[in-house]
Structure 1
Amino acid sequence: MSKLLAGKVALITGGGRGVGRGIALALAAAGASVVVNDLGAGLDGSPEAERPALDVIPAIEALGGRAVADGGSVADWAAAQAMVRAAVDAFGRIDIVVNNAGILRDAIFHRMTEQEFDDVVSVHLKGCFNVSRAAAPYFKEQGGGSFVHMTSTSGLIGNVGQANYSAAKLGIAALSKSIAIDMQKFGVRSNAVAPFAWTRMVDSIPNETAEQKRRVDSLKKLLPERVAPFVVALCADAASDVTGQVFGVRNNEIHLFSQPRPIRNAHRGEGWTPESVIDTALPMLRPAFYALDRSGDIFTWDPV
């Protein structure tokens, strides 16, 4: 890999395992100095004795790179401020933030607890805000920077038993777009990426029926490290015109996702009554209604 990010400093959250680890190593291979953040929590956010961020540092150093570990929680405002300062203290600046940290607490909606909802939104959506907001003044001051936020087709399309996760991930796409709009005048860009990868985050998918087994076998072909090259490219100066977009990376496939726009219109000069909505507007709009698709209903082909 060429040194596309030579002289730059990156912070990756959730960088100790899976997709995050692959991105951390790729950032370093491209020449960036890296702060590898990972709380070392279980999938449900429960504490673990492991410190996976520390395990990534020797791998980065073996590539000839520089890195430091951080164990703070992205859900905590002060910890997010501290991890950004760690980058500046260790390497003198910060140029890249990759918001990758996440947890799962899946439950069918009518059984989901308030705590399960709050915990997932706190880590994913609030965590993206906390870390991005901590880096924003540095990006503004230096006149540039790149945010990459991990979204998911669970939010962009839909999935079963993930109302908390889906809400957070769709919120991340909107947050990314808002950051892009607000900070474009400072040369700061912000994009969202939906990674397709077999990691701990998807290892809990049901695997009982023949159809479920077939889907899991297909998902196991999705390699976490295939996401990293695209993220590195987004952070490079050569992609300085790319902002406010939502992408997907699925092994060797790169997708650009649509963003909500009006697709059909109904107008009535004299205004609407409930009856005319039922009799006229809904029949006009109904042909363009979306089905209750899940991610697997849209991405039906095997990854290659």
Structure 2
Amino acid sequence: MSDPTPVLDDLRDESEELDRLVADLPEERWHGPTPAPGWSIAHQIAHLAWTDRSALAAVTDPDGFGALVEQAVAAPDSFVDRGAEEGAARPPDALLAEWREGRAALRKALGAAPPGARFPWYGPPMSAASMATGRLMETWAHGQDVADALGVARTPTPRLRHIVRIGVRARDFAFLTHQLAPPTEEFRIEVVAPDGGTVWAYGPEDAAQRVTGPALDFCLLVTRRAHRADLAVRAHGPDADRWLDIAQAFAGPPGAGRTPGSAGDPGGARP
């Protein structure tokens, strides 16, 4: 059974980094565009706050979370956008306070979860560590949208390892999402950590198909925050090459993704 404390600490640090990007923004910047079509910075933070509330309900109020799932099933194409719209309409100070309170409450609830507990989610049930990892991935990805909108280059951290791991584990899901049969053989994934020397490796060393590159670029790829043509991620083998076209670390539809050359462009497309 995995201790959630390390990833909870990393989630806290990832959230605080994004918080510092938006805390002192003038109100008009909150309503400026980001790479998500129709989404402002306020929408990005509202979405994180909304998802934190959903996760908290899953941990502390399963019946209440069940009602949220029913809403998602009834309006699968609009319920996420609707939650972001509602939050983005609030004054930035109130929205920021809500996000801070919600993520603190979620951290407390996940830290107090009994060992081995699993909680309902929009996909398979999740452990406390897995839920925290998913929240970190989303916080980093939406934080990238905010950073791109503000023209800020973020310094990559070892926290990227959590996102790499999700992306690797979600390989078969990406194929299934595109109505493709997942490859029967494992890939070898080797990505270079932000320190420039450490290699994070997954899969058998003798695998015939491989993916290599910087961890940051791999994370941008699997969160669909950049097009593979703009990244130094390389595939070795036909199935691995196909995967790089469709890889995603998040549940739900893949969306359009970014177009080549749109990285950092507030008008670029993404899911």
Question: TM above 0.5, one fold?
Answer: no
More helix by share: 2
Greater strand fraction, Structure 1 or Structure 2: 1
**TM-score, structure 2 normalization:** 0.26
Q: Greater Rg, structure 1 or structure 2?
A: 1
